[in-house]
Amino acid sequence: MKVFAIFALASALAVPAAFAQNNGPQQEVQKALHGSQFRNVQVSVDNGIVTLSGTVDNYQTKVNAEQKAHHADRNAAIRNEIQVAGPDVPDQKLQENVVKAINYGLIGYVPVAFQAITVQVQNGAVVLGGHAAGPIAASDAVAIAENVKGVKDLVDNIQVDPLSPMDDQIRIAEFRAVYSSPFLSQYTIDPEKPIRIQVENGHVTLYGVVGTEAQKNAAGIKANSVPGVFSVTNDIVVAGAPTEKPQK
């Protein structure tokens, strides 16, 4: 009888322990997602994997939900299946909105002319690419894009150019050379339409859109006039001219 009683007691204690082990992460994560922005997010746990599902209003909230889940249980594997239920924005319009948000959002950190970040959109999914002059600008661009209404998903393929005092000096010298020309100074007015100067290990690439072939050539000549530059690639696009390159 004593052996049976001990076995029964052990079995009774084992059930709550197993239940707590399986539901502990779920309760902790659900508790972490207490804000109204997470009101439609559900949490489930299966074989140690925490799955987030439901809907949120914007993509950044989806990212924040996953970050909070990791913080609540650092040992749990997180599967983020949350859907963004915000407004459906046509891809072309969404691309324009993201480009504008990034260009204006980066003002004050470093000259926008030093960023050559590209934006592509398909079915609400945004892919960021191109180059950023430093990790701060790259991470800020991602954070800005996450907040744009209509973004359903986001892929960060931005290449961060190496931090280099030499490259920084070349960027400044190139900026002064290109924009000191009255023929090109108009492109400093609108943050959405600068001539972009990307520098990597002493090699310069020019991006952007200008009105005439003469302006494109002038920018290339000015860029080549800077001493200490190993090479200059002029990828500036002339408005209205046929091109297969994405606008930058």
Q: What is the CATH number of the domain that holds 35?
A: 3.30.1340.30
The answer to whether residue 47 sits within a structural domain is: yes
Based on the domain organization, do 21 and 79 belong to the same domain? Answer: yes
- Band of pLDDT at residue 108, cut at 50, 70 and 90: low
The answer to whether residue 192 sits within a structural domain is: yes
Residue ending a domain, among 35, 60, 84, is 84
The answer to whether residue 248 sits within a structural domain is: no
The answer to whether residue 63 sits within a structural domain is: yes
- Report the predicted TM-score, pTM, of the whole model to 2 decimal places: 0.77
Based on the domain organization, do 133 and 102 belong to the same domain? Answer: yes
Based on the domain organization, do 123 and 142 belong to the same domain? Answer: yes
Residue ending a domain, among 52, 84, 116, is 84
Residues listed for the chain = 248
Residue ending a domain, among 84, 102, 120, is 84
pLDDT (tens digit, 9 = 90+) per residue, 154-171? 999 999 998 899 999 999
pLDDT (tens digit, 9 = 90+) per residue, 112-154? 789 899 999 999 999 999 999 989 999 999 999 999 999 999 9
Based on the domain organization, do 60 and 125 belong to the same domain? Answer: no
Axis crossing angle, helix 135-146 with helix 91-105, rounded to the nearest 10 = 140
The answer to whether residue 245 sits within a structural domain is: no
Based on the domain organization, do 19 and 65 belong to the same domain? Answer: yes
pLDDT (tens digit, 9 = 90+) per residue, 169-181? 999 999 999 998 8
What range defines the domain where residue 230 resides? 165-238
Amino acid 23: pLDDT: 56
Domain count, the chain: 3
Mean pLDDT of the chain: 85
The answer to whether residue 243 sits within a structural domain is: no
pLDDT (tens digit, 9 = 90+) per residue, 6-49? 444 444 444 444 444 455 678 888 888 888 999 999 999 888 88
Based on the domain organization, do 42 and 78 belong to the same domain? Answer: yes
